[in-house]
Structure 1
Amino acid sequence: MIRYILQRLAGMIVVMFLVVTIVFVIVRVTPGDPAAVMLGPDATAQDIADLRSRLGLDRTLVVQYLFYIGQLLKGDLGQSIFLNIPVGTALLQRAEPTFFLTIFSLLIASAIALPIGIYAAYRRGSLIDQAATTLAMLAASIPSFWLGLILMQFFAVRLNLFPVSGYGGPGSSFGERMYHLMLPAVALGLVSSALILRFTRASMLDVLGDDYIRTARAKGMVERKVVLKHALKNALIPILTVLGLTAAVLVSGAVVTETVFGLPGIGNLVVSAVLRRDYPVIQGALLVIAALYVLINFAIDMLYLLVDPRVRY
């Protein structure tokens, strides 16, 4: 098992190195000059050249890349060009809305998808199963930003039950800030529940037809215990996989939702950085998101060892 963990860690390092390289090249070849954007349309060519020299943008790509790798090895994500603060500080300042939005969305998606998926598999072919499958396909086809706008129009504008946008004022309490996250969390959670529901149903269907399930029923075991203890436990690996992937997708997919609801999260920060050509912020945010993907996948692999002892061999 130790060898397996070491192999996974080595693979994570390789993946992160490739992500760093690809992101660095992409943001550099994208049209747009951050020095020109920062100085505005009235700046002279000399002013732009001086600022590029001060920011180190006049160096060759190889020199910039080696300098960036050296910064990363020291744990430094660089300095934001426009915010004039370290990228790590900027990300930490925006991390709270994105973190809780992801957690709430995943909880809502799981609360909807897991019980419906399990019951739909148990009642395979029934009206409930067909309705659940249809609703899952419908939810998967709805863009989260469009659903967010619909929820905003109905619950915030018409019924005035939730705030339209924002994350509360500077002195807002924790409860008030979480209250602002309800509508965006529901929008993301409903859309994300579709994939979890379909995977849960498919995984449970594969298990419910196995011989040991028929044996447990033949012995007179209570049906609820057969489904929830024996069948669900052996169907957990695909379900854990899709839950982990959903959590990672929610982190990266919150960009549009945060923009729609005016949340000051990492997604909103990335959008602003792209418009301003703030290279260090774009690189740092994408690197953090990629690291979350890798860490979530690693955590799911470790959960496999606990859920299914056969994985250890």
Structure 2
Amino acid sequence: MLRAPSFEGSVRMRSYILRRLLLFIPVLIGISIAVFLLMHLIPGNAVDSLLGVEATDELRAQLTKQFGLDLPWYRQYANWITGVVQGDFGNSIRTGKPILPEILERFKVTFELSLIASLISWIIAIPLGILAAVKRNTLLDGVARVVALFWVSIPNFALATLLLLFLSLKMNYYPALKYASFFSNPVENLQIMFFPALVLGAIMAGSVMRMTRSSVLEVLRQDFIRTIRAKGAKERVVIFKHALKNSFSPIITIVGMQMGYLLGGTVVTEQIFSLPGLGLFILTGINQRDYPVVQGSILFFALIFGVINLLVDLIYAGVDPRIQYK
């Protein structure tokens, strides 16, 4: 249970949040510069990708000037980042449409996929990690650790491809050609999202299971656990009321980090399962050299990742009374 902060604690918490947000500004600036330069260092350019075989020197020069690509790179960056600060992520070179509404719309798909994957991961990993810790050095513990190592080691694109081949060849299942949102058709939406979420959730479960096992095992070795057992407490009470409660801090940390990484790790999975998420949006933008799409989407991902890390730190301090805001 999260403890309610005192007035002094509330002041420290607000000060801590403000400092974290201010420190995040140079991080975002660094990410924006890195993404901008990397996109412009990729061979080819947006104009050639847009024109294709119809490119002529005159038409290429006209579009290059129209998109502002004839300016020095620092002028292009300054124009782009000035718009971002004002809430304007620019327009897509390919479609001419504003990018920010498209990012927000596609992020709903990516966020839902990440949320379902996280729930699957927690349902699998936390009970299995607790069981492995309680039954340590047994056959069950060994099998659980091997399975966790397998999920950690296998790349998500390989698992997604193998799963899709199995489903299509053995079960006649194919990804839906048209995405249905949860609010318009919940049943169809969950049918579409389940298998890609299962892939991401299984891979995430490996890290969460290992952290849960090690954290619970460390608490079970503490002196206060021996004291509780000596007083005659039932093993169920020892595990779930005392050991698990005191093990949550590192588990929350790894869960928060994994969820942040999961948002960015959906790129290939969305491509394989034809999900119109933000990951597929970025991949398409890279292939088409659509600079504003890629730059804006990655900067948005970085912002969300920073917010998730901040929330995890706040929850972490709320769960563990020994953590103080400074």
Whether the TM-score (by the shorter chain) exceeds 0.5 is yes
Q: Show the counterpart of 2:271.
A: 259
1:53 is the counterpart of 2:65: yes
Superposed displacement of residue 33, structure 1: 1.2
Could you tell me how far apart the structure 1 residues matched to 2:203 and 2:280 are? Answer: 20
For the structure 1 residues 283 and 111, does the alpha-carbon distance in structure 2 shift closer, same or farther, using more than 3 Å as the test? Answer: same
Residue in structure 2 matching 1:92, options 91, 98, 104? 104
For the structure 1 residues 134 and 190, does the alpha-carbon distance in structure 2 shift closer, same or farther, using more than 3 Å as the test? Answer: same
Superposed displacement of residue 175, structure 1: 2.2
Superposed displacement of residue 139, structure 1: 1.5
**Could you tell me which amino acid in structure 2 is paired with residue 66 of structure 1?**
A
Residue in structure 2 matching 1:216, options 210, 216, 228? 228
1:288 is the counterpart of 2:300: yes
For the structure 1 residues 165 and 149, does the alpha-carbon distance in structure 2 shift closer, same or farther, using more than 3 Å as the test? Answer: farther
Contact 1:139 1:194 in 2 (8 A): yes
- Computed over aligned residues only, the root mean square deviation of the Cα atoms, in angstroms, reads 1.8
Could you tell me how far apart the structure 1 residues matched to 2:323 and 2:161 are? Answer: 44
Superposed CA offset, 1:87-125 (max 9, x none): 112212322321211111111111100000011011111
**Could you tell me which amino acid in structure 2 is paired with residue 144 of structure 1?**
N
Superposed displacement of residue 167, structure 1: 4.4
Q: Show the counterpart of 1:122.
A: 134
Q: Show the counterpart of 2:175.
A: 164
1:101 is the counterpart of 2:101: no
Q: Show the counterpart of 2:20.
A: 8
Superposed CA offset, 1:5-62 (max 9, x none): 2221222222112111221221122221101111112311121111010011111111
| Structure 2 stretches lacking a partner, 5+ long | 1-11
Superposed CA offset, 1:238-293 (max 9, x none): 10111011111111111111111111111111111001100000001101111111
**Could you tell me which amino acid in structure 2 is paired with residue 53 of structure 1?**
K
Residue in structure 2 matching 1:297, options 294, 309, 325? 309
Could you tell me how far apart the structure 2 residues matched to 1:150 and 1:144 are? Answer: 10
Residue in structure 2 matching 1:80, options 92, 113, 117? 92
Could you tell me how far apart the structure 1 residues matched to 2:15 and 2:194 are? Answer: 43
Q: Show the counterpart of 2:257.
A: 245
For the structure 1 residues 184 and 245, does the alpha-carbon distance in structure 2 shift closer, same or farther, using more than 3 Å as the test? Answer: same
**Could you tell me which amino acid in structure 2 is paired with residue 164 of structure 1?**
P
Q: Show the counterpart of 1:311.
A: 323
Q: Give 1:185-196 correspondences, 5 Å limit.
A: 185-196=197-208
Contact 2:92 2:292 in 1 (8 A): yes
TM-score by length of 1: 0.94
**Could you tell me which amino acid in structure 1 is paired with residue 249 of structure 2?**
I
| Structure 1 stretches lacking a partner, 5+ long | none
Could you tell me how far apart the structure 1 residues matched to 2:178 and 2:255 are? Answer: 26
Contact 1:167 1:181 in 2 (8 A): no
Could you tell me how far apart the structure 2 residues matched to 1:31 and 1:154 are? Answer: 36
Q: Show the counterpart of 2:154.
A: 142
Superposed displacement of residue 201, structure 1: 0.8
